[in-house]
Amino acid sequence: MLNPAKLKSPHFSITKHILIPFTSTTTSPYCSCSSSEYKQWSGLQQWRSNPIDKNRIWGPNGPQPPSNPQNLEVSIGSSCSSLAQLAALVLSTTNPLSKSLLSHFAYSKWRSGDLPIGVFDAPSRPARPTKPPLVSPREIPTVKDSGLPLNAYLLHNLAHVELNAIDLAWDTVVRFSPYLDILGEGFFADFAHVADDESRHFAWCSQRLSELGFSYGDMPAHNLLWTACEKSSDNVAARLATIPLIQEARGLDAGPRLVKKMMSFGDKRTSGIVSRISKEEVAHVAVGVYWFFSVCQKMGRAPCSTFKDLLKDYDLVLKGPFNHSARDEAGLPRHWYDPASVDTQSKEQLSEVYDRLAHVIAMETENASSSTRPT
């Protein structure tokens, strides 16, 4: 187990095996934000205390609970003795719908108070069905070549993101389970909650694909999302930066555009699903921001410069357009990801420096004048 006292070193990050230094040493004068300046999403505590969301199907008027809940996941997961073990079981489940159901069971079991966090070995990679085939991004077919109409094409892409998001959240739970004493139980509770949300989102997407006459796996998909997860498998700060603060935040950017495309296509029902998912993703980014600040505080590092160091170390590129309002709501500072905001902040900080300097000069001038006056 890591020594919590060592986490105060300003040059080290929490990792699965050891404390290793960042290779970058970014010291931007515009990365002065500290944990005390963190603006928490106003809905975070409410999200944490909400009852378990059982609205796993999309009814005529939106989300609703299923009339005949499936119990397959209960018989499979009932033998697990910890949340970490259940997380590993979800990751090892091949069938996407079974994975979604088991994910909901795991979180429900945890919320019932019957399970400890525990410690368990994470699978090297999540189990995947034979379809869809995973190809490079360049090999993903266009809408024209996919054999799917635009709404089903876009919905399939979203379903793939949501399925990966289930695994990403559970991998975070099980992979860092040995560090419960350092990270705290709340860390694992939050990411188990995220996994449950993502499993519900996948269920909605899968249901709607079926209504349109298609299913998940009807076209190829890429594996970029899991690649980012693998790269951050030994570094908590990197995991939080790459998944919630970058990948999930991109979902906030893309959501409104996807809603508009669905509406333009005339698919109001799918646009409603996408809109609801997009709104719920704010919580997931907010969770990432909260725990990123927390981990940086444990390391004794400035969150902004740490984030930018990680971007450089992991060769991550942030591209707009950005949904500033949703990112702001989640508590993600603009100057972390948007160069235009950095320029604005730079000017504001320089203006403040100039004002202070002018004030100092005025005081010095007045003092000098006073000292030369005859008594």
Q: How far apart are CA 302 and CA 141, in angstroms?
A: 42
Asked whether residue 69 carries a pLDDT value surpassing 80, the answer given is no
Share of the chain above pLDDT 70, in %: 79
H, E, C per residue of 289-353: HHHHHHHHHHHCCCHHHHHHHHHHHCCCCCCCCCCHHHHHHHCCCHHHCCHHHHHHHHHHHHHHH
Q: What is the pLDDT averaged over residues 248-270?
A: 97
Q: How far apart are CA 338 and CA 343, in angstroms?
A: 9
Judged on CB neighbours under 10 Å (0-12, 13-18, 19+), 23 is exposed
- The tokens for 44 are 């975070």
Residue ranges of the alpha helices (H) in the chain? 44-49, 72-77, 83-91, 96-111, 143-146, 150-175, 180-183, 185-211, 224-231, 236-242, 249-265, 268-299, 303-313, 324-330, 339-372
Q: Which of 21-30, 182-191, 216-225 has the lowest mean pLDDT?
A: 21-30
Asked whether residue 37 carries a pLDDT value surpassing 90, the answer given is no
Render pLDDT for 317-361 as a digit per residue (tens, 0 to 9).
Answer: 898 999 999 999 999 999 999 988 764 444 545 455 555 665 566
Q: Which residues pair with 57 in a beta bridge?
A: 64
Torsion sign across C-alpha atoms 291, 325, 46, 71: negative
